[in-house]
Structure 1
Amino acid sequence: MLSQVLFGEHFKVLEQRKDWSKVRLFSDGYEGFIDNKQYVEITEELYTKLTSETPCVTGELIDFICGENNQLITIPIGSQLPLFDGSHCYIQSDAYSYDGLSYNSPLPKDELIQKSFQFLNSPYLWGGKTPFGMDCSGFTQLVYKLCGYNLLREAKQQATQGEVLSFIEESEPGDLAFFDNQEGVITHVGIIMKDNYIIHAYGKVRIDRLDHSGIYNADIKRHTHKLRVIKKII
């Protein structure tokens, strides 16, 4: 699994096969294969309309939308509500009611840390971006998405965004710290907190110490990641 497509996210079909289609997500440009049973085709007109609107995303860790005949569909936090009017979202001719928490405008930067806390102890899952399992960049992408900001999918891609900071002391809570491997490839990312702490997905979403060398894990009493660069995204 490379990534996940949550309810309401739209994408272009690049190649269609009998059971699988290769798609490119609009939100981050990420490409992969999706089961043909798990998506519905929309018109080009609707795709263009969704592309131009500010996404409205769900804010409950887990919730339901109600479709035809009062059928409930489970959706995780960060799902999108296409053409949401405050009570219903629409996909083609189908309407789905939703009365939970949602966001559709940028939130203050200090909300990034508050949003990240709700994912503490979520298990690590390669390619995941929900509370039931997420990788390091899926975690940062989801937190930023909830606050109204768009990040790319992988850590090395996210590292191309924003403004470089020279020292940890220049950073603010909500900035991103990136870490590389022995080959110099950026493979990890976390969200900087105050007082030299960092929240990141490593085995689970956890809080560790951050210093000029990297991430220090107090449980195993050693550094687990080597600091490469700090970026201010907003």
Structure 2
Amino acid sequence: MKYGICPISIAPMREEPGDKSEMVSQILYGEVCKVLEQRKKWSRIRLSNDDYEGWVDNKQYKEISEIDYTNLSSKKNIAFAKDPITTVTHADQTISSIIMGSQVSSAEFLGDSYSFNAITTPGAAENKSALIDDALLLLNTPYLWGGRSFMGIDCSGFTQLIYKLNGYFLSRDASDQAKHGEVLSFIEESDPGDLAFFDNSEGQITHVGMIMKDNYIIHAHGKVRIDRLDQTGIFNLDTSSHSHKLRMIKKIL
């Protein structure tokens, strides 16, 4: 088994080994992975933080030892970049931009340094109001299938990132995130920061958003936006119609 770390700002994870293949997710700076299969130009990897699998360009990750992987993949006392965008300085004094959610506790291992304040997550946050504060930092971020950053994000990438910044590691896809936490029967039982899940006509969970106070919801749909939430689903304030059908509400923290 081989192991790797992402030394660049963002690397796309693709469904198949090729640049034209669909991007299913992204690896952020400092995140580590297991290399499940290696070919001449591409590798199939599994990310340590959510066990998500996909293909990455061999030029966009750096091989590390199993010991380093074990140390860097520990979910205790990991430091993440909190600002939407900031920089790290490499050993050769060149600079790279990195984004919110980058694992800057790996910077020293990569020979990099940074001068900003990062957030360290020793455990799941008890103050759920911080979830909404962080979510609002991504307001108006454009929607991007497979995206995990403020430059482009999908619905489950959005909720995963916000929870990660607060010490809780959600699965990557909405259908898997719905397996976390405790089911609530009514919207009125929820608190800001709880998650609402939505299904399609086949009953498959395809969308997730974060509940706010006063029956509002923040979610990634075209962009990260705020809409109304009722027992039917999401009521889009621009179109004055329901855009998503509510399936369940989950209390995660």
Shared fold by TM > 0.5? Answer: yes
Secondary structure of 2:78's counterpart equals coil
Which amino acid letter does the alignment assign opposite residue 152 of structure 2? Answer: G
Secondary structure of 1:119's counterpart equals coil
Residue in structure 1 matched with residue 80 of structure 2 by the alignment: 57
How far has the Cα of 1:82 moved from its partner? 3.1
1:122 to 136, 141, 145: 141
Q: Is 2:46 the partner of 1:30? A: no
1:67 to 90, 113, 121: 90
Secondary structure of 1:149's counterpart equals coil
Q: TM-score, normalised by structure 2?
A: 0.88
Name the CA distance, whole Å, in 2 between partners of 1:223 and 1:157: 24
Residue in structure 1 matched with residue 215 of structure 2 by the alignment: 196
Q: Is 2:40 the partner of 1:18? A: yes
Mapping for residues 213-224 of structure 1, pairs under 5 Å: 213-224=232-243
How far has the Cα of 1:195 moved from its partner? 0.2
How far has the Cα of 1:54 moved from its partner? 2.8
Q: Is 2:63 the partner of 1:47? A: no
Which amino acid letter does the alignment assign opposite residue 47 of structure 1? Answer: Y
Name the CA distance, whole Å, in 2 between partners of 1:31 and 1:67: 28
Residue in structure 2 matched with residue 109 of structure 1 by the alignment: 128
Secondary structure of 1:195's counterpart equals helix
Q: Is 2:186 the partner of 1:167? A: yes
Secondary structure of 1:198's counterpart equals strand
Residue in structure 2 matched with residue 86 of structure 1 by the alignment: none
Q: Deviations along 1:119-171, whole A, 9 cap, x unmatched?
A: 11100000001011000000000111111111100000000000100100000
Structure 2: which 5+ runs fail to align? 1-22
Residue in structure 2 matched with residue 154 of structure 1 by the alignment: 173
Name the CA distance, whole Å, in 2 between partners of 1:101 and 1:215: 36
Name the CA distance, whole Å, in 2 between partners of 1:141 and 1:213: 24
Residue in structure 2 matched with residue 206 of structure 1 by the alignment: 225
Runs of 4+ in structure 1 deviating by more than 3 angstroms, as ranges, are: none
How far has the Cα of 1:68 moved from its partner? 1.1
Secondary structure of 1:112's counterpart equals helix
Name the CA distance, whole Å, in 2 between partners of 1:4 and 1:218: 30
Residue in structure 1 matched with residue 195 of structure 2 by the alignment: 176
Secondary structure of 2:63's counterpart equals coil
Residue in structure 2 matched with residue 80 of structure 1 by the alignment: 103
Name the CA distance, whole Å, in 2 between partners of 1:232 and 1:178: 11
Name the CA distance, whole Å, in 2 between partners of 1:51 and 1:131: 23
Secondary structure of 1:143's counterpart equals helix
Secondary structure of 1:207's counterpart equals strand
Name the CA distance, whole Å, in 2 between partners of 1:60 and 1:218: 29
Structure 1: which 5+ runs fail to align? 84-88
Name the CA distance, whole Å, in 1 between partners of 2:53 and 2:62: 17
How far has the Cα of 1:101 moved from its partner? 2.7
Secondary structure of 1:152's counterpart equals coil
Residue in structure 1 matched with residue 115 of structure 2 by the alignment: 99
Name the CA distance, whole Å, in 2 between partners of 1:139 and 1:127: 10
How far has the Cα of 1:15 moved from its partner? 0.2
Which amino acid letter does the alignment assign opposite residue 160 of structure 1? Answer: K
Residue in structure 2 matched with residue 186 of structure 1 by the alignment: 205
Secondary structure of 1:2's counterpart equals strand
Contact 1:214 1:224 (8 Å CA) reproduced:
yes
Which amino acid letter does the alignment assign opposite residue 103 of structure 2? Answer: Q
